[in-house]
Amino acid sequence: MRRLSLLLALVALVLNLASAFAADEIGNLGVKTALRHMALDISQVETADLSKFKEDKNMSYWCELDNDFFISYESGKMPRIPAQAIVKKSALIDNKMSEPMLAIKRGMDSPLDEFAEDIKVIYESGAHVIFQAPPSVLNQIAKKESNHFKLESLRQNIRAAVNERHIYIPEIKSAETVSVDLNRIKSYIKTFENYKTRYSYSQGYLDAANFAVEEFKKLGFEAKLVEYLDGGKKQYNVVAQKKSPAAEKNEGFYVVGGHLDAMSPNPSIEAPGADDNASGSAGAMEVANIISKYPFAHKVRFVLFAGEELGLRGSKAYVSQLKASGEITKVLGMVNLDMIGFDKTAPISSLWQTRQTYDSFVSNFLAVAKESGKLKITMSYNVWGSDHVSFINAGAPAFLFIEDEYGANPHYHKTTDHLENLNPEMLHEFVRVVAQGLVNILSAGAEAKK
């Protein structure tokens, strides 16, 4: 019953929008400079048709947002909309306001909220908002940019969120399957939480970092705190790797990392950061547990960063050190685990964020995820917001592997970010994908050399 009325309401809405669109369009013919935007539902559009659509000369710009597609064009010069696409919204762009901007946020709070009365929201879905603002307001909003809130001009055609249907994922059969110890992941997270705060400058952070060093050592890794200076203050990343055989000293290696520091409204006192990011730190440590048993274990370096919440400071400093030592050219690929435990609605959703040029590296891991089919996969080619950015900026292949519903996590950067709010199945699968991906890559490498 409810379904039927919902369906009728939807049909009415679509008809309504379509007719409103036609009338509006005619009404604005002749206004040469007027731009129109349109939000389309592309869930039924084939990849080839979508690619062709993107090339339409009448399109001023477009933005891919999972099953939605946001476009802009000169009024009266409508691009050829694919037959399977459904128009969800269409209107003229307000030419007294800024060009439409894409805002992406972490957590439920958005810096846009305080400007709600001044801005005009055109599109909203999860972590993404497309809006216009008076130029002076846009300037103020731009000042709020951080590694948790990002503004993008739409002029560059952004693939902000790409549905699994539109990305190439190789089909594989993993040879030797890894086994993940979920209880160990949970106990690492609990231990990290119990330091009360892992705010970068706190004793809790240092204690947590030392705990991680000792755990890596137990697995046979050479592990240490690596110092850097943050405005004169000493800060420490955790770095762990097994000793290479002399013959392989100059060979490349992979990096698995995540930030160990945490944030809250009162970070020097309490910042448990279970999801953000004890989950990723514990995940990296579980990957180390798995990899440590293989003969190629020395080809993976584990790094837990300080200062991510303060602006990727730990990873920036670490990458500078890699550049200074010349080691940056040996980084074959970097996996950044940041927030791998929160999921609001099933199925478990994952977001993969990288540059398209690194697709071949990322596809090793995508293939493992596809093999089990437990994750809903969304790809983003809009790189921002976490420690992989430091590596990508230095030319090293890297990707962020993160929960896709971070925009709906009510505990983000709160003192309520505890293990109880995390999804165990999700933790397990994220860690499995990373460990299995590395085993697949490194086993293949060993074989090729024989």
> Which residues here bind Zn ion, judged by CB under 5 A?
276-277, 338
CA distances (Å), origin 75, targets 59, 79, 122, 172, 208: 10, 10, 17, 47, 57
Is the backbone of residue 312 left (phi > 0), alpha (psi -120 to 50) or beta? left
Of 338 and 429, which CB lies nearer to Zn ion in the complex structure? 338
Minimum distance of Zn ion from residue 449's CB (angstroms): 37
CA distance 261 to 236: 10
Of 263 and 379, which CB lies nearer to Zn ion in the complex structure? 263
Minimum distance of Zn ion from residue 133's CB (angstroms): 27
Minimum distance of Zn ion from residue 236's CB (angstroms): 18
Q: Which two tokens stand for residue 18?
A: 């379509």
Of 161 and 262, which CB lies nearer to Zn ion in the complex structure? 262
Minimum distance of Zn ion from residue 255's CB (angstroms): 17
Sign of CA dihedral 140, 146, 148, 151: positive
Of 363 and 421, which CB lies nearer to Zn ion in the complex structure? 421
Of 277 and 382, which CB lies nearer to Zn ion in the complex structure? 277
Of 25 and 109, which CB lies nearer to Zn ion in the complex structure? 109
Sign of CA dihedral 203, 209, 215, 217: negative
CA distance 225 to 396: 23
Sign of CA dihedral 135, 138, 143, 145: negative
Of 87 and 408, which CB lies nearer to Zn ion in the complex structure? 408
Q: What are phi and psi of 161, to 5 degrees?
A: -150, 115
Q: Pick from 325, 104, 313: which is nearest to 228 by CA?
A: 313
Minimum distance of Zn ion from residue 112's CB (angstroms): 20
Minimum distance of Zn ion from residue 72's CB (angstroms): 32
Are the beta carbons of 407 and 126 closer than 8 angstroms?
yes
Cα three-residue angle 393-395-396, rounded to 5 degrees = 105
Counting beta carbons within 10 angstroms of the beta carbon of residue 311, is it exposed (0 to 12), middle (13 to 18) or buried (19 or more)?
exposed
Minimum distance of Zn ion from residue 412's CB (angstroms): 9
